[in-house]
Structure 1
Amino acid sequence: MVKHSRPYGRSKFGAVHLGLLLGASLLPTTAIAQAPAAAEATAEAEAAASSIIVTGQRVEATKVAADAIAFGNNIQIVSSEAIAASGASNFAELAQFLIKGANIGYSPDEGEYTIRLDGGGDRDTLVVLDGVPLYDRGPALEDIWGSTTIDPHMIERVEVFRGGNSLFFGSNGGIGVISLVTKRPDGTNKVELGASYGEFNSRELWGNAKFALDAEGRHSVMVYGSSQQTDGPRIFAPESYVDNVAKAGGIQKYPLNRNNIGVKYLWKIDDDTNFRLNGQYTQIEFQDPFPDNETFSPNRVRYPIIDFSIDRRWSDAIYSELTGYWSNPRLNNTETFAETCTNRAGCVDVKGQPIRFGDATGRSTPYPNKGFGADSKVGGFQERGLNFRNTFTFPKLVEFVAGVQVVSYKDDSDPVFPVGDASTTITGLYLDARPVIPFSPDTKISLAVRTDFAKSFDSKTIWKFGFRQPIGPFYIRGNGGTSYSLPRTNELFSVSPTQVGNPNLQTETTETYNGAVGFSKTFGGVQINAEVGAFRTDISNRIQGTSGLTPNTWFNNSAVTEIRGITADMDFILGKQFTANINYTKQQARLAGTDLQINETPEYMITGNVAWHSANDRFHVTLLPRYQGPEYATGGGNVRQPDGSMAARFRNNFGNYFVMNGSIAYWAGDERQHRFQLRVVNITNTKYAERYGYGNMRFSSAFLRGEIAANSDAYFYGYEFEGKPRAVYASFTTSF
């Protein structure tokens, strides 16, 4: 068997530039948006998390997020309290109802989903977990959905960076980055435990315990873990299944099991230096058979991660951070298809009954390399990363942030797959200059550049700018920049009956801008915050996949994807008892020269968050409404239109629906530490589709008997990925 040797490897420039950058590492800390000046911030806050004002309330944020706000980026911070009030059982539910401008790819209840911001696709929004990218590098077997491994109960906060943010995070952050900051040891002692039960026999246990190892709390540890099991809601309606797939047992439940365990360590070396180490292992098992061909499809993902960080404040002017990680996600995927009668005289099925030619026998046959036991081959990849970031400040003159990021990954699949195991290594050098304007010190300006080196493309330079100008209770902000995304391994080299790679794929590039005008003021006892903005994104050489073909493949779309959008956001805060938010994102995403919205990109979304808390802080009510505008799916291959152009055979709008989740909670105990919650998903019991897919009839009895022609209208059909019906869950959490 011929193996494709990938033309990717370590850049010859990497070591040289790393040495130069390490030698030049004198760098600083900076002021934070709507917060005291840098001189007033403590060294500890700068080394860990900064306190900033977001929607009129003081919250914790990493220094990267605080700086991003200060220099004109659109940042949203979702707290652990908001996550707990939502009751989200997976990260997709959290994103759907708490992250502004987010759309979910695939189905949150299927065990496969991605998060997309502001009209982007799967490769334009980067999700990182404590600095570790959960982006799928494309193992030979099939996609690995890193976001599905996230335990919402361990999240301390979610920092959402809307707009281009590849400067510090690397490629695949061209439209946005969702950075998850998890709970961690801090030198104190505390235990948190929780349990829930609800619809679809859903059971969940979770907990963490942090404790100091010495009297001063300089050494401390946290152990944590969670376990989730559910039979899952129905994903596909029975009528969505091809007849032979249904006869062979394809109609089934979609159970999901997720188990996670980990340990974290903190060493406070001195008052200015911290070292952190984390190791965790997640295993998730789920079913994902599609109704047009698969009768049985259990998946098992194993996702170990080790990450570390060390930060030090050398002086008032110099601050350094070094972070690193290793991950090795691996997937086993069994997939079977219906065995059919190939004898024109007829056959006998597994029950001994006579069947016609083309009918299912009741048996199933595995796809190559997707069988049982030793015949279920493993797909996966290994990834390593380092990021050395330095900040240094020259008061009243300028601040610089400079660093080097090295990311290296390679395929780690079974040798049976024709994919090379050479490493792709990308070395990125970045510099962000933040000058102080003498005649307008409140004006914040950031001018940044990054150059990445790799054998696959020699070098690529991206840039970014940002600004923020306060004007009394108002402000004006804006930022823009460029990014890129490499083809994934499976997009280049995969070979299977259902999909084949395209080794000629080119790098995808992104250029994006956004800006806004905002307002924040207190009227009596009411705090009002509002912002109206717009964004503009162009994606060239966009990598897309075909749909409904046998096999499917990937291609670079020669037409530029043009995304144009507007945003509106308003908060009302009435003391500590009532808060409300409503936000609106409109996104026109089209190929240049066309007037059709691209697939799986809603034209607009309206979401909200209404919360009431009793005066004694015992009772809590939360409502999370969401309206999804028109959203389209196309399939059936391209056919010639009356005007001579080529367009998709079928197009379906599966959007235009309203869904609302809600919860009621009671907090008992002297410190409100015993918390009971009743959560209702889809309160109005709306029937809707999370996604709409297209399949074909190649396994149907009619096609096998020649009653349906290949690639005819009757050969293709569409089906819904059903949203969760009304469901009720009860949970209890406690801490001590």
Structure 2
Amino acid sequence: MKNLLSFISLFVLFCSYLNAHTIKVKGHITSGKDHVPYANISINNGQKGVFSDAQGHFEIELEEGNTYSFTVTMVGYKELNQEFTPTKREHDIHFNLMKDLLELNEVIVSSSRRAQSRQETSSVVNVVGSEFLTKNDFKVVGEGLNFIPGTRVESTCGNCGSSQLRLNGLEGPYTQILIDSRPLFSGLVGVYGLEQIPVAMIDQVEVVRGGGSVLYGANAIGGTVNIITKSPEFNAYEIGSNFGTIDGKSHDYNMYFNTSLVSKNEKTSGYFYGSYRKRDAWNANPNDVYYHLDDQGMPVGNPIKDDFSELTSLNTMSFGTKVYHQFSDYNKVAVDLKYTHDQRRGGNKLDLPEDEADITEGIDMHIGTAMINHDWYSKDKKFHLNNYLSGQYVHRDSYYGAYQAKDGFGLTTGRTIVGGSQLNINLGDIANGTSYFVAGVEYINDQINDKKLAYFDDENGKYTDDATVSNQISSTYAVFAQNEWVSNKWSVLIGARWDFVDIIDRQNHENDKRVNSINPRINLKYKLNKTMQLRGGFATGFRAPQMFSEDLHIEVTSGQGVRTQLDPNLKPESSVSYNLAWDFDKTFGIVQTYFLVEGFYTKIKDRFDNQYNYLDDGTLILYKRNSTSDAMVQGINLEARIAPSEKIAVQAAYTIQSSKYEEENQWGDEDSSTSKYILRTPNQYGSLTMDYKLTNQWTASMTGVYTGSMHVPYLPGGFINGELTTQEELIKTEQFFDMGLKIAYRTKLTKQANIQIGAGVKNIFNQMQSNFASGIDKDAAFVYGPISPRLFYIDVKIGNLLN
């Protein structure tokens, strides 16, 4: 009994010793007099962490007497670093955050494949956050990208509603678009993809201009756009709806929801979202007329009023989920599932079946995506291993046809698989700085099968066979590595990536291609002082040849056979890019300012030159070869942000550039005209945004997008102002300023929820191109300037995190 009592006493003393050395620390986070809810508190570089609650308070257990390094981050506030040593007498801690009115301290991953503050990166990275997208009533991610320096989103077809993103003046195929750092945007999805990603799923969009092939592979010649989806961090929800109208007849309706759920032990969490959008077609020139053409291509008969759409009808539904489970402080798994159904149709007689209209271009697309991600950390957080596997399947029914053609139906299927492994190592102190090493392997498999479907041929009295347009498999094997060394003054990043691309043409193995490409990257950053820094970079890039071409798919509307042929000596496109940037970040009293000047230069060699040729039997040949004329894009990006107070913030961006070929370049087939200009690329463009807090409940926001004059081709066949155009022309367009304005009111709906009601107008001055083409044979690609006309809208949203 005596021994038992002694053991119990020792056990009690031991427990008391443990309790004496473990203290429950209580803390609260404020900004001025206001508490900051749901802030992220990271301890000792992520070894421990917690979020503040809805009132800005938190609790965490720490060992007495140990000194801990706290890092507090929250969107809209500057990062705060503070050390704290808990004792029995001092176990409360207070953090007072300073507002980041210019949003310069976002955490980004696109620059070096590791999380770091935007201001710390060796290369210039621009960010558009979810708050900016939602407060300006943007429905899809493409609408918000015009507000990043050097970035433009433009419509490329008035019939099918396709669009493309240009970085530093380079066409869409030269930009690598990523979803959560994965290259799932194949050539098939990329045509419409920017209008298929709802804002409800977006956390932020990161844009890196210039060569980025070292980290992300082919097509990153112009730059990289990384779309980061939302992750669950605390219990939250938001539902919203908006309604817009162009002319009282054509409407645009959208509704969405998103919610985050976190378990009590914070080990499991999930994010769920859904979005539905319906937009009516719109005709820009209903009073224009056109005529039918006779066998000699001359107008005959009575004038016919134009009934062709310039904005396609849309019916898009998206929903998805992202679920995390943390097995321990060092192991975490995430599963991401998404589904999108997108229907769109343009042309005329939209109430009739596709093959009974004069022109119809339409799609019915299903996109399913699954991603699994595993993260492992060492106990000291110096090693981070990330393993990932992603897959996407696309099924697209389409119709591209004119004159009630029965042969316009098509079916395109695509499958993309991306898998890889990446190791991040904090090498610690080296030469008075800290070194971060990243290495990884990646495999990308992309399969596309594009065909025209069989139809009943009245002339021959029998069914035709399916006609394959493109059937290819592309496999990419990649290895990459880079090291970033960071000191108080300098950051030096050096890396390289090797890609082996194996392309198989299932129709014609003479088109099979194997490409090896090694691309280096160097970035330097030098801090001139606390407020100014210089960044410079050099990178090479490449683009492998692809058999699939959406341009070819649209071109085939008359029943002819189709073949793609690659030049036997076809080489991949290659690029060299340079950039030099100076930025300035300083607060004068209460006025926050930021300025950026960035010069850029990109040269593309061995450009793909697509030639359309017709054989005597009517077969259309798309022949791909390398051009002898290089392309060069150079210019300056300017950015300024000023916040005189917490009530007002202004941001402006402007680009001045030159985009030309070294030699005259043909537009399309061998008989077309030539130009030194890279078409559809203005030499000047920019954007402006302003937010004004009228009161604690009333806010106003203004947006503006400026598009300078550019050279746009017009192909003959249609009517402009009732006159048949028989000559191809290179038109120098007018300038445009697309301005929007919104006013919103926010108030408490319940104790735990806010409601916000807003109203606004887009494209106030109704800036649109001066002439639109009419007629069955019109050039559908003759679209430029703002995508949407003047649109009035109202919106309502309810949530517990509205601000």
TM-score, structure 1 as length reference: 0.77
Distance (whole Å) between structure 1 residues aligned to residue 308 and residue 772 of structure 2: 17
List per-residue Cα deviations over 1:413-440 (Å, max 9, x = no partner). Answer: 459343675632111101102235xxx6
Counterpart amino acid of residue 652 in structure 1? I
- 1:207–1:56: structure 2 CA closer, same or farther, 3 Å change rule? closer
Asked if the contact 2:200–2:258 (Cα under 8 Å) also holds between the matched residues in 1, the reply is no
Shift of 1:599: 0.5
List per-residue Cα deviations over 1:502-556 (Å, max 9, x = no partner). Answer: 3225422121111111111111111111111200000112235569999584643
Residue of structure 1 aligned with 2:478, choices 422, 428, 442:
428
Q: Which moved more, 1:252-261 or 1:66-75?
A: 66-75
- 1:671–1:176: structure 2 CA closer, same or farther, 3 Å change rule? farther
Distance (whole Å) between structure 1 residues aligned to residue 167 and residue 780 of structure 2: 29
Shift of 1:725: 2.1
Distance (whole Å) between structure 1 residues aligned to residue 157 and residue 266 of structure 2: 40
Residue of structure 1 aligned with 2:603, choices 525, 538, 542:
538
Alignment of 1:554-703 (within 5 A): 555=624, 556-593=626-663, 596-616=676-696, 618-636=697-715, 649-669=728-748, 673-688=754-769
Asked if the contact 1:661–1:683 (Cα under 8 Å) also holds between the matched residues in 2, the reply is yes
Shift of 1:718: 8.4
Shift of 1:259: 0.4
Secondary structure class of the residue paired with 2:187: coil
- 1:243–1:663: structure 2 CA closer, same or farther, 3 Å change rule? farther
Residue of structure 2 aligned with 1:466, choices 518, 523, 530:
523
Return the structure number with greater strand share.
2
List per-residue Cα deviations over 1:462-512 (Å, max 9, x = no partner). Answer: 111101111112110011211111222224997945775332254221211
Distance (whole Å) between structure 2 residues aligned to residue 694 and residue 405 of structure 1: 46
Residue of structure 1 aligned with 2:45, choices 41, 54, 59:
41
Asked if the contact 2:285–2:772 (Cα under 8 Å) also holds between the matched residues in 1, the reply is no
Alignment of 1:3-82 (within 5 A): 41-43=45-47, 55=102, 57-62=104-109, 64=114, 66=116, 70-82=120-132
Q: Which moved more, 1:144-153 or 1:458-467?
A: 144-153
- 1:238–1:307: structure 2 CA closer, same or farther, 3 Å change rule? farther
Distance (whole Å) between structure 2 residues aligned to residue 39 and residue 402 of structure 1: 26
Alignment of 1:350-361 (within 5 A): none
Counterpart amino acid of residue 136 in structure 1? S
Shift of 1:406: 1.0
**Are 2:445 and 1:408 equivalent residues in the alignment?**
yes
List per-residue Cα deviations over 1:187-244 (Å, max 9, x = no partner). Answer: x3222111111102221110022223x4313122232211100113335666486646
Alignment of 1:120-269 (within 5 A): 120-138=170-188, 144-186=191-233, 188-199=234-245, 200-212=250-262, 214-234=263-283, 239=288, 243=292, 251-252=308-309, 254-269=312-327
Counterpart amino acid of residue 365 in structure 1? A
**Are 2:794 and 1:730 equivalent residues in the alignment?**
yes
Counterpart amino acid of residue 619 in structure 1? W
Residue of structure 2 aligned with 1:389, choices 422, 438, 445:
422
Asked if the contact 1:248–1:295 (Cα under 8 Å) also holds between the matched residues in 2, the reply is no
Shift of 1:558: 2.0
Asked if the contact 1:659–1:683 (Cα under 8 Å) also holds between the matched residues in 2, the reply is yes
Which residue in the other structure is 2:385 paired with?
A: 320
Secondary structure class of the residue paired with 1:227: strand
Counterpart amino acid of residue 690 in structure 2? V
TM-score, structure 2 as length reference: 0.71
Secondary structure class of the residue paired with 2:195: helix
Which residue in the other structure is 2:514 paired with?
A: 457
Distance (whole Å) between structure 2 residues aligned to residue 171 and residue 111 of structure 1: 26
Secondary structure class of the residue paired with 2:224: strand
Asked if the contact 2:541–2:575 (Cα under 8 Å) also holds between the matched residues in 1, the reply is yes
Counterpart amino acid of residue 677 in structure 2? Q
**Are 2:370 and 1:306 equivalent residues in the alignment?**
yes
- 1:717–1:467: structure 2 CA closer, same or farther, 3 Å change rule? closer
Shift of 1:678: 1.0
Which residue in the other structure is 2:31 paired with?
A: none
Secondary structure class of the residue paired with 1:93: helix
Asked if the contact 1:144–1:329 (Cα under 8 Å) also holds between the matched residues in 2, the reply is no
Distance (whole Å) between structure 2 residues aligned to residue 730 and residue 517 of structure 1: 40
Distance (whole Å) between structure 2 residues aligned to residue 72 and residue 578 of structure 1: 30
Q: Which moved more, 1:382-391 or 1:668-677?
A: 668-677
Counterpart amino acid of residue 632 in structure 1? H
Distance (whole Å) between structure 2 residues aligned to residue 236 and residue 547 of structure 1: 31
Residue of structure 2 aligned with 1:503, choices 561, 566, 581:
566
Shift of 1:121: 0.8
Asked if the contact 2:444–2:476 (Cα under 8 Å) also holds between the matched residues in 1, the reply is yes
Which residue in the other structure is 1:288 paired with?
A: 346
Shift of 1:49: 12
Shift of 1:247: 5.9
Counterpart amino acid of residue 451 in structure 1? W
Question: Based on CA coordinates, which of the two structures has the bigger radius of gyration?
Answer: 2
Asked if the contact 2:220–2:541 (Cα under 8 Å) also holds between the matched residues in 1, the reply is yes
Asked if the contact 2:183–2:418 (Cα under 8 Å) also holds between the matched residues in 1, the reply is no
Distance (whole Å) between structure 1 residues aligned to residue 240 and residue 395 of structure 2: 29
Root-mean-square deviation over aligned CA pairs: 3.5
Identity of aligned residues (%): 17
List per-residue Cα deviations over 1:123-155 (Å, max 9, x = no partner). Answer: 11122222343533359xxx8422221102221
List per-residue Cα deviations over 1:668-706 (Å, max 9, x = no partner). Answer: 1167721111121101222337xx9999x9x67xxxxxx
Asked if the contact 2:469–2:564 (Cα under 8 Å) also holds between the matched residues in 1, the reply is no
Asked if the contact 1:509–1:539 (Cα under 8 Å) also holds between the matched residues in 2, the reply is yes
Which residue in the other structure is 1:102 paired with?
A: 151
Residue of structure 2 aligned with 1:447, choices 486, 494, 517:
494
- 1:552–1:258: structure 2 CA closer, same or farther, 3 Å change rule? farther
- 1:665–1:490: structure 2 CA closer, same or farther, 3 Å change rule? same
Which residue in the other structure is 2:135 paired with?
A: 85
Alignment of 1:325-404 (within 5 A): 325-338=390-403, 364-366=404-406, 368=407, 370=408, 376-397=409-430, 398-404=435-441
Unaligned segments of structure 2, at least 5 residues: 1-41, 51-70, 80-99, 294-298, 350-356, 454-465, 503-512, 665-674, 717-726
Counterpart amino acid of residue 243 in structure 2? Y
- 1:636–1:144: structure 2 CA closer, same or farther, 3 Å change rule? closer
Asked if the contact 1:602–1:655 (Cα under 8 Å) also holds between the matched residues in 2, the reply is no
Secondary structure class of the residue paired with 2:654: strand
- 1:421–1:593: structure 2 CA closer, same or farther, 3 Å change rule? closer
Asked if the contact 2:157–2:783 (Cα under 8 Å) also holds between the matched residues in 1, the reply is no
Shift of 1:61: 2.9
Secondary structure class of the residue paired with 2:347: coil
The structure, 1 or 2, with the larger RCO (C-alpha pairs under 8 Å, 6+ apart) is 1
